[in-house]
A and B are shown apart, each in its own frame.
Chain A
Amino acid sequence: NAGVTQTPKFRVLKTGQSMTLLCAQDMNHEYMYWYRQDPGMGLRLIHYSVGEGTTAKGEVPDGYNVSRLKKQNFLLGLESAAPSQTSVYFCASGQTNEKLFFGSGTQLSVL
């Protein structure tokens, strides 16, 4: 099993551009999450999903949108990227909402 796979691994955007980060899990997990990691800030929850077709806002949802059309995939979209969205993005999944399995991250730079 691949676990949690994130694509792309690296991306550089110009301010105002849009992009979608893809998270795929092959563990049949119900729960999926998008976090961002910034130095000194820990991991902050952006959006999450408690099952196929559901989404909910986390701690820092502004500027991001998500979709979970299929159980195994959770997409994070940036409609108009801003330099403040420069970060490392992690996707996580879990069969329960307590124990999470993380992907390897996407390093995003917005110039």
Chain B
Amino acid sequence: QQQVKQSPQSLIVQKGGISIINCAYENTAFDYFPWYQQFPGKGPALLIAIRPDVSEKKEGRFTISFNKSAKQFSLHIMDSQPGDSATYFCAAFSGGTSYGKLTFGQGTILTVHP
């Protein structure tokens, strides 16, 4: 059962363009939504995260947009650069106890052409 659905599976963008990756979730108990970035041969690394009490969070060229009523959130990469080429994972966290854990989406392979 995939509780976090991510799309698209792959994305090709020209340098300077906007990359948009979308995620949808079902469990309303999720209360923390991070995005992880993974370069080839490396482990994922936390990129940016949001909590459901805000609708948008921006860090540099990276923005998360969050729609609580639709149970959707997205990552926008402005002015995309070849160095942004990586796999991106959205995730959702249901906490409440120490046994809370992250549920990851399927991943999006982003390629930014020069």
Contacts and interface: CB of A to CB of B under 8 A. Distances in A.
Interface of A: 4, 31, 33, 35, 40-45, 48, 50-51, 56, 58-59, 90, 92, 97-105
User: Which 5 pairs show the lowest CB-CB distances between chains A and B?
Assistant: A102-B43, A43-B104, A42-B106, A42-B104, A50-B98
B43 A56 contact: no
Give the interface size bracket for B toward A. Answer: 20 to 34
Nearest to A44: B104
A40 B106 contact: yes
Contacts of B99: 50, 56, 97
Contact of A4 (B32, B43, B107): B43
Interface string B91-105: 001010011111111
Given A98-B34, A100-B46, A102-B43, A45 B89 contact: no
Nearest to A40: B106
Given A92-B43, A98-B32, A103-B43, A48 B101 contact: yes
A90 B104 CA distance: 13
Given A98-B32, A102-B43, A102-B44, A42 B102 contact: no
Contacts of A31: 98
Contacts of A98: 32, 34, 49, 93, 95, 100, 102
